[in-house]
Structure 1
Amino acid sequence: MDNTFKALVINESTTGFTKEIKEKNLSELTKNDLLIKVSYSSINFKDALSASGNKGVTRKFPHIPGIDAVGTVAESNSKKFPIGSKVLVTGFDLGMNTWGGFGEYISIPEKWAVHLPAGLTEKEAMSYGTAGLTAGLSVCQILQSSTVNSENGKIVVSGATGGVGSIAVSILAKIGFDVLAVSGKKENEYLINSLGAKEVINRNDFIEMYDSKPLAKPTFVAGIDTVGGAILSGMLKSTQYGGIVTCCGMTGSTEVNTSIFPFILRGVHLAGIDSVEASLSVRNLIWGKLSNEWKLSNLEDIITEIGLEELPDKLDEILTGKAKGRYVLKH
C-alpha cells in the first residue's frame, strides 16, 4: 500500500485561507480503529464553511474537509469491520476537526461507520450522503405524525434545488405526496420534471405571502425547511392543525420570527433534525429505507460527479448558493 495520498488541504495564513491539492502521508492521519480507502465523497454546506476557514466548524488548520465518505477498509482493529469491508461514514467529527473525505484515506473510530447497504453502490451512497440522511430523517419525522398523509394536503419543501431539499422533494414525490417546492433559483422544469414537485414558488414570493401575518390560511399538512429565517416562519404560520414542520438548515438565517399562535391554536409541531450525532440504529433505519422503498430512480438527475481538481470551485458555488443538486467527488 502506498503511504501517500492526495487530498484537498485548507491552510491558514496571515492573509486568509487557501485551498490546495496536496500529497499527504498516511502517518499524518490520527491512528484509529479503521483506515479507509475512500472511493467517493460529496459536498455539503458544512464542507464549504470548513473550506472557507469558518472556526465554528473547524478549529485547527491545515485541514482536510469532507463530512461524507464511502470506501473500503484498508486496515482494521475492529471485528465488526474486517479488512475489505465496504463502509459508509457521515457526520460525527469527520471533516470537521478530523481529516475527512476530501482525502483518499480517512482514519476513524469504528463507531462512526456503518456497513454499506446491499441495495446501494458506493456512488449511490454518496449521491445521498449527509444530505440524503438528513432528508430521510426529516421525512421519517413527518411520517410519524398521525395527521400527515398524502390525502390530507401538500407538503412544502424549502431550498428545493439544494442537497437536502432536492432529495426530500424526490422522496416525498416517490411515496405519493404532492410537494410545493420553494426555491430562489429559476429551475421550475428541473424541480417538476426531474424531482417530481407538483408546484414551484419563488422564495421571495413565499416570504412576502406570509411575512406580515401572525397566522395564515392552513395550506400545508407538513413542511421541510432547510434554510431557516422567514421561510421557516412562513411554513409554521401556514401549516394545518396538528401538522409538523422540520428544520435542518440555516443557509438563509439562524433566526426565526413567529408568534406562538401556530403552536397554541393549531397544535403545530416544530421538529429539529440533526444527522451529525444520530444513533447508529437510526442511521441504519434511514439507510435501509434509502436503499429500498425510498430508493430514488432519479439520482443521476440530482448529482454531478466531479474530480479533486474541480472541488475548490464547487465549494465556492455551494457557499454562495449557486449549486444545484448534489456534487459527488470521485477519488
Structure 2
Amino acid sequence: MRRAGVHAGLKVLLPAFHCRAIVEPVLYLGAEPCFYPVRADLRPDFSALSSMIGGDGAPVAAMVLTHYFGFPNDLDEAERFCAAHDIALIEDCAHALYGRAGERLLGTVGSYATASVWKFLPARDGGLLLDNTGGQPAHRSAQPLLAEAKALAAILQGWSRRIWRRSSLPVIEPFALCEQAKHVAAQPMVRASESGLKEFSPKLAEMAALRSSRWIMAHAPHERVATRRRANYLQWLEGMRSVSGVKPIFPHLPEGVVPYAFPLLIDPAGMGFHRIKTAGIPLWRWEDMAVTDCAISRDYRIRLLQLPCHQELREEELAWMIHTVQTLLTAPD
C-alpha cells in the first residue's frame, strides 16, 4: 500500500467480498476503504466501479483485485480500468501462490502483488511482495532468535506428527500442550487491542520472514504441491455432483490453476456449515467483513464454504470428508 502511494486523504478500492486482512492496512495508513460490488462469479462489477471514480470525494490511489481461492480474476479488464483512471492495480494473491491467467503468471500483471506462503506451505509466517514497477527491495529487520527457534520447533513437530499419522500409534504432543498451557496462563482476564487491528501487525510488517520460512519457500516440492491440490479439488468436484442444492463457485479447473480451497455454495440459511463443522471437518467462511450494499457478499458470507484441498491430505481422509459432506448436505432438516 505504501509503495502504491496510499496515505491519509486517499481512497483504496477493495472488493465487497473480503477478509478483513486486506482492509486493516488501508485503515492503518489513514486512507479510506471503498468497497466495490462483485458478481456471482466474484469478478468485479466494473460498471459500479466506474461510478466510484472522480466526483468531489478523495482521489483513488489503488484498486485491489483478489484471485479468490487460487482462480484468476478478471485481470484484463482490471488492468484496462486502472490504466484508464491512472490508479495502481494491486493483485491479492493470498490464495494464489501459484497459477496463471492464460500465459501470464498471477502477480505479474498489476503494479504490485502480495501472496501468503503459510497458506500453502508448512511455514510459520511469510508474505511475498512483488513490485512490478522496478522498485528496490525494502530492508527488513531480522526476527529474534527466540522466534526463529520456536518456529523451527513447531515445524519439526509438524513433520513428526505427519510421520506418526502414518502409523497406528496415538499422537501425543506434550510440547504443544505445555506451550498452550503457558500461553493461556499468561493471558489477562480481559484482553484489549491497543491498535484496534486484528489481522495486521505494524511491527511484523517491518520484519523479514523467518529464516525457516524462507528455506521452506526455496526448497518446497512446488510441483507436487500444485499437482496434489489440483487432484484434491477435482475429487471434491466429482463428489459434489450428486448433491442437490449446492453449487461450486468454480465448476471447472482450468490448466495452470492451483486451488487454495474448494468453494461451495450451500443452503440459503447456511445450516450446512454448522453440521459440517460439528462433524470435525476443517472449513471456513468469511463472516467478518465490512457491511456493504453488495448482495453477493451478504449472501456468500453465510452460504459460501471453503473446504480443504491441502496437498498433505491422505486419500482416506479426503474420501471421508467428501462422504461426510455428501451425507450431511442431503440429510433432511
TM-score, with length taken from structure 2: 0.25
Q: In proportion to residue count, which structure has more helix?
A: 2
Bigger radius of gyration among the two: 2
Query: TM-score w.r.t. structure 1 length?
Result: 0.25
